[in-house]
Chains A and B, each alone.
Chain A
């Protein structure tokens, strides 16, 4: 009895979460533009989607900014974590407190503060300002994923390498980096998803002059119903599902091999 009640409760919440997603997907195959009446199956909106240069451009902006900003943030952030780990306690906590600012600040404040900076030093708003903003809000996530790995690490391995005559850069590459790699990878993934999903900060720092997918969707959704957005969301949903499926399959495989070893 209690078990079925708990299943019903979780079921209702899942329906609440998925109802809008599934209607979007179903009506992406609808022939008419009306989102309330089913008038027959059609791939019309998918054709529209792939032939629309504006959407293509927005997809390109989203993916390239996510990749570039994630890689740049991972480079700067990993180096920063190594440096910060060597700071004295007071400098360390001061720097970390500033690092927290973009993470805990409301997105809208981060967005307008960066916009004010770009206006102040007159960098024209667009792709470059979006990229700079994304690197900025990504770096904290990288630092905070790498730093715990560094504190867990035995600092004497690095010092030993230096004592043996390795130059600092070489010691970092050969001794420190392999030990912190899981944290670096987590940071990179986190940065990519943060950038991919961002709307508010992109919206302000570009002033709408360069559109990523979020900005495009926002501007279209305000105008009214447009089934090409449905087709787009169906494709994005399919990609997310299959990515998660692949990741989970790999985790399960790992678990199984671990079981065998025991």
Chain B
């Protein structure tokens, strides 16, 4: 026996609040409003309209992830190189915005990017504006990068801190130039951090509806908005559930990718 019973309350909780809700998502996805079995919602979720929205979201999330990686990778590297006392302060400064409500920060950009906002006043002052920033795909992309950059920096930073620098010295001793030692030593060693960062940025960027709504307005529909609409505006829970199944498929696929890349089971900084 040996104390297995301690897990009993959690097992009950898990079945009720994790397993049952997921079963319900499948149940609703496969039924119509009078609970008769149908695959029409699934077909609709794989239809041209929702697939267009899905592709748009995949595209903007991929762009945001790439930009976060390009901006965040050098930042994580430079942060890990900083000397202890100032390094601590700067690192804390980097992570601090994560602790502030993301809606507040997104709202702040909304006021800054507004037609009458500070940035447009400045642009008008030097004869370049005003420019319509808000309610464009560019503003959404900007908001995604802003919100998720720390989630890319953190795991890569963790990997750099743990990295054995003697590998780099060895590469240089053996005659590798800077580019070679980066390409053949540093990049492969930091791959677990990159994989964690990509996962932590991509899925949230793909499924958000608050950031897209606040910065993109309601002109352009993203996948998160589409699902939210079914549950909040239209009360079409069955179609909404079918749309979520598509997300589950993408999630399982990306987890499979992650597992394949994380054979040592390190899961660098995923938590």
Contact = CB atoms under 8 A, between A and B. Distances in A.
Interface residues of A, number: 81
B204 A107 contact: yes
Contacts of B2: 86
Q: Which 4 A-B pairs have the closest CB atoms?
A: A83-B7, A80-B10, A20-B108, A113-B21
B93 interface: yes
Contacts of A77: 10
Contacts of B210: 199-200, 218
A80 B207 contact: no
Interface stretch (A39-47, A63-71, A98-106): A98-106
A225 B247 contact: no
A19 B112 contact: yes
Q: What does DSSP make chain A's interface, helix, strand, loop or mixed?
A: helix
Given A99-B14, A204-B231, 13 more contacts: A6-B81, A10-B75, A20-B109, A35-B117, A80-B11, A112-B244, A117-B20, A141-B271, A217-B107, A218-B103, A218-B210, A225-B111, A248-B92
A59 interface: no
13 contacts: A13-B94, A20-B109, A21-B108, A24-B107, A36-B117, A77-B10, A106-B206, A112-B25, A114-B21, A136-B13, A144-B271, A222-B213, A240-B100
A80 B247 CA distance: 29
A248 B25 CA distance: 44
A17 B7 contact: no
Given A14-B93, A222-B214, A139 B25 contact: no
A164 to B, nearest CB: 15
Contact of A18 (B25, B97, B101, B149): B97
A230 to B, nearest CB: 8
